[in-house]
Structure 1
Amino acid sequence: MSDSWALAVCDQDDTMVDSGEKDRPSDDPPDNPRTWVQKVIGGGVGGRPTPARLLDDEFVDARVHLEFLDGEDGEPVVTIGLEVLEVMNGMWKQCMIVMVLGRNISIAALTRKLREMWKPKGGMYVMDLPRQFFMIRFDLEEEYLSVLTGGPWIAFGSYLLTKVWSPDFDPLRDEIVTTPVWVHLSNIPVNFYHPSILMRVAQGLGSPLRVDVTTLNYERARFSRICVEVDLQRPLKGTIMINGERYFVSYEGLPNICLLCGLYGHLVHACPSGNTGEKGRKTGG
């Protein structure tokens, strides 16, 4: 999983503009120049960009190289330039990986179920991957974020595991061991309620996704609420230090957190690390 927040497209050289500009007549007023990244963000018709609209063949051909290091009968080696990958990755910036836990589901059945649950107003596209993983792509960013942070979701009587898409995700090798979860930072001073401050603070807990609108609108001051993608295989943090003061952290929808080891999935009395009796006396459990 990438350490950077969300799936933002990497910045590129601002001089890289739409290739249609170079052949424009001198007396024809130019359109507003756009970088290739801006073309991705702007999208295509209906908000669904396509590769042919984002990158022309000449641009790609100049940045994709084929070599035969051991001669033409040897293994071909292809190198795709970073400029091409950055734009292509941007096509999937509103995409998530899902799996129905313990179930083999067809793409048609899953698509019907997800449309029934999420009722998307914009486009939603389901693509199947190996090992019962699926990619879900949204046209509307708000719907993508709403679904990503709106769980836990139940489909076909089982949990729907979710993960933000990353170009590093390999369905043949990887597992979904992370989940988006809303965290509460108790008694955070209101002068910390700046979105960039809160997102930076939340990086100490995982990969932050968004700040709750009630927090940004100062509607709740007992705690700030931030959605963070956390790794359930690592201990969840119960406190965080900010400017020398310690603040408590709690997690919505994750009741099975062990107070002994901090891992999700069991309680103190079932902790495989042992010493539950000593921990029980200290916590009153």
Structure 2
Amino acid sequence: MALTGDGGDKGVAVEASTHPKSQAESTIAPVQGAGQLVMRQAMAEGASNWEATEKKEAYGGPEDQIDGEVDMDDVAFIELEPEEEDPAAESQWKMLGRYYAQRIPNADQLFERMNVVWQLRTGMTYVPLKDNFFIITFYSKGDFNFVSRGGPWIFKGYPLLVAPFIGAARPSETILNSVPVWTRIYDVQWNKQTQAMGRALGGTLGKGLEVDIDEARQGLNEYLRVRVELPLNRRLQTKITTRVKGKDDLETYELKYERVPYFCFKCGFIGHEKEGVREGDTGVGQIRVQYGVAHIATPEI
């Protein structure tokens, strides 16, 4: 094969044919006619299919070009045998992770940091997926339980969301959209600083996980402390308003969050960056509260 040029940096490949076609072989040439591209065929006698093709003047459907019966079914179906449980798979403690940020992290740095924070006894491995998702495999049940029940796990200000990996789920069904955060509810009446009140108030913010009540100091605290799964599709709340059934009086309780991941001081959403929020986005123009460091509390030791 030789490359010939036209005076510039372009060229065309020229190759001598080692097996030239005989006169009996067919040739296909595109010809424009009647607004359609038709195929002209010079063939040996007896080529009935090609002769029929040459006579077609209009395309009437698949049956015009397909030999035999046309199958228009567009769904492939198979009935599978039930799969048996694999006992060996239970020895691998897998978790799905999602780094919730508007940027792509350095995965090695992320999990090196998590390895230190988690203080793993037996180690882990991870496999990156798309959209900042990861499959994390732990080598012991203890490490798995510690990570799944703890958090929030934060790297460079943004949360690594985790949940048990469900192998039977489809990727399109995989959702990680909440982060566990200890929330302080301030100025609750002395006689209402109870587990029941904590669950009721925390439930207005998200899924309640735990109420921290020190029996020795119950009814003597400045705030109720509740651990809540905060939904990421809802801006941080700055207060809770309540009313007793049958009464008109309203009670308002201010909120602060411990170890809350980065949230936008303009729109109030976790994981957002102020520079990426435009006026009018997510109702920003209607915000009546001011987000800031006043809504962040120093974690209790």
What's the TM-score once normalised by structure 2's chain length?
0.46
Structure with more strand by fraction: 2
Return the structure number with greater relative CO, CA threshold 8 A, min gap 6.
1
Structure with more helix by fraction: 1
- Higher Rg: 2
